[in-house]
Structure 1
Amino acid sequence: MDRIEITPFAATAAAWDAALAALAPAAPVQAHAGYGAIAASSGRGLRRLQIHAGGRLVGLAQVLGRGGLWLCSRGPVFAADLPEVTRRQALRALARVLPGVLIATPEMPVAGFGLVPLVTARHQAIWDLTPEEGALRAGLQGKWRNRLVAAERAGLRVRVERAAGWLIAAEAQQRADRGYRALPPAFAEAWAQQSPGSALVLSAGTATAPRLAGVMVLRAGAGASYHLGWSGPEGRAAGAHNLLLWQAALRLRGMGLRSFDLGDINSEAGAGLMHFKLGTGASVHRLGATCLVLPG
């Protein structure tokens, strides 16, 4: 078994993102430097660590801490060819160097001695954007495609919005009305400031009602993540969200991005939402269980 070495990543945030891109081009937003910087600005501890096995860089871990509890969300990000036994060994070595307790949700499934499951594995809908446009559209499920066609025929217009304040406020009210949880509204504003040009905001509407629905997508490396969305009654009736997701996918693909993370699809979020996300042709990506990592 290769010897695991955990060392601080002492270079710049840009160098971190470059190393992340080399290791996993479509790494999740939570692994990128901007996410860590935003958390640090709100008072959390931030550590960026690199993981070597047998002298080779095999993983990167961005961990956030408060009160002796360290969280590694959607991480560590490991090299795709790394065996599970080495991933487990690396997690335990990571827990050994941190001054406190480590809880991790690995991007790749990993289990075994020294990892105590706390929350069962989650699943993400990941839309592969590499096929050409015709193949991408052919991959849409029938009902989803029919809703898209109906929205297109209804004459809804999609616009790229420069400002996101209206959408953030509308989604915050929607969140309060429906009682679901997500990152605070201030995160979206901070992300846009931290990484100018990396937030794609689209609206769909008509000439008389230009904002019937909207989405905000965050770009990071060769991937993008659906961050938030809102739709009024008219937008829902017209299938505006289907049109917005499709247009977002085309724009992201045109930027050279490879994948579009549509978010969690576990049952408590609602079967309807799960079917909507998978209706794009997205595949199911299983994360590791959220676990308490024992030092080893």
Structure 2
Amino acid sequence: MTTTTTPLMQSTEMQATLRACGQAPLRLADGTLVLHRRLFPGVTAAMLSRARINAATQPGLIRQAGLNRTPLILAPDHPAPDLPQMGAVPLVTPTCVAELDLRGDLRAGLHQKWRNALVQAERSPLRITRRILRDGSDNWLLTADQAQQRARGYRNWPVSLTVAYARANPGKAVEFSATDGDTVAAMLFLCHGSVATYHIGCTTARGRRLNAHRLILWKAIRWLAKQGFQRLDLGPVSTEDAPGLARFKLGTGARPRWLGGTWGWWPPLGRSLRPLAGLDRGGMRWTDPHAG
């Protein structure tokens, strides 16, 4: 297996997916994948999502790629306090992601309460199955996820993009389901390089009572480790906005890591907006997610 550990949004798998959808993502000279995002009619921005961004070298790379007059949205994969030096303005404060190292004694890394709940789930009548996602026809998880998005008022990837990923990258969209006669929960993981990223998951009331997601995640963790994957990206965690979900993810032994927030930058303005960046300096701090 390749040892590439780049985030999903910078992976060759994502590039192949976007091309399959008729888009034309490009790579900067340093390998950074650039996506295109329509802001409003007539205005399209270039987006560097989960990228390694260096304020000293980025302007030159942008010019070299012919994007020096294009609005840019920068979402670094790391804390980036030096971005104001090139004139970038903060738009969204940083978030934290939970990352689980899939090497070593995984069960020993589980938090005690998480492990105890897992033992109960292992004693339940649940049956866990694994399959490769190939299309979205009559798929319990994709249908349930769409309903969950509507009910909770948020937006995830459209089903068409998830299916495009599965088709453009055969065998790399892996679904785990829990059944007790009927399906009670499922989770989908997208594999890229030596990393797997948790994509979507849904459960029923019975699934919650039986700790189905805990059992699914544990089975997925063990399978991914056996396949040689090095890391599992469990996505955002927030002990303030979603403490229960944060405990669930971090209970696996995953470590929280800060990303770099979201920044806006229009190269023609150069560094003229640096004073604006200073106005939100406090909001762009990267502090211990468990502090307080």
Question: C-alpha displacement at 1:204, in angstroms?
Answer: 0.9
Quick check: 31-40 or 238-247, which moved more?
Answer: 31-40
Q: Is the 8 A contact 1:31 1:75 kept in 2?
A: yes
1:189 equivalent in alignment to 2:183? no
Partner residue, 1:166: 140
Q: Is the 8 A contact 1:31 1:74 kept in 2?
A: yes
Partner residue, 2:62: 95
Show structure 1 runs of 5+ residues with no match.
1-17, 52-59, 79-86
Partner residue, 2:149: 175
Question: C-alpha displacement at 1:125, in angstroms?
Answer: 0.3
2 CA distance for matches of 1:119 and 1:267?
18
Compute the TM-score of the two structures, normalised by the length of structure 1. 0.79
Partner residue, 2:243: 271
Quick check: 102-111 or 154-163, which moved more?
Answer: 154-163
2 CA distance for matches of 1:266 and 1:70?
28
Partner residue, 1:129: 102
Q: CA RMSD in A?
A: 2.1
Partner residue, 1:81: none
1:75 equivalent in alignment to 2:54? no
The partner residue of 1:252 within 224, 229, 232 is 224
The structure-2 alpha-carbon separation of the partners of 1:193 and 1:41, relative to structure 1 and needing over 3 Å to count, comes to closer
Question: C-alpha displacement at 1:294, in angstroms?
Answer: 5.1
Question: C-alpha displacement at 1:185, in angstroms?
Answer: 1.6
Q: Secondary structure at the match of 1:181?
A: coil
Partner residue, 1:199: 173
Question: C-alpha displacement at 1:222, in angstroms?
Answer: 0.5
1 or 2 for the larger relative contact order (CA 8 Å, sep ≥6)? 2
Q: Is the 8 A contact 2:70 2:266 kept in 1?
A: no
Q: Is the 8 A contact 1:139 1:281 kept in 2?
A: yes
The partner residue of 1:283 within 255, 258, 266 is 255
Q: Which has the higher helix share?
A: 1
Question: C-alpha displacement at 1:268, in angstroms?
Answer: 6.4
Q: Secondary structure at the match of 1:50?
A: coil
Partner residue, 2:33: 62
Q: Is the 8 A contact 1:123 1:284 kept in 2?
A: yes
Q: Is the 8 A contact 2:187 2:201 kept in 1?
A: yes
2 CA distance for matches of 1:242 and 1:71?
34
2 CA distance for matches of 1:197 and 1:245?
18
Q: Is the 8 A contact 2:132 2:173 kept in 1?
A: no
Identical positions, percent: 36
Q: Is the 8 A contact 1:95 1:101 kept in 2?
A: no
Give a deviation string over 1:202-238, Cα, whole Å, max 9, x none.
11122x23x1110100000010000011101110110
Q: Is the 8 A contact 2:128 2:176 kept in 1?
A: yes
The partner residue of 1:31 within 1, 6, 10 is 10
Aligned pair count? 253
Q: Secondary structure at the match of 1:288?
A: coil
The residue type paired with residue 245 of structure 2 is: L
- Runs of at least 4 residues of structure 1 off by over 6 A? none
Quick check: 264-273 or 111-120, which moved more?
Answer: 264-273
1 CA distance for matches of 2:156 and 2:238?
15
The residue type paired with residue 34 of structure 2 is: V
Partner residue, 1:232: 204
2 CA distance for matches of 1:281 and 1:251?
16
2 CA distance for matches of 1:252 and 1:26?
14
Question: C-alpha displacement at 1:267, in angstroms?
Answer: 4.9
1 CA distance for matches of 2:60 and 2:262?
17
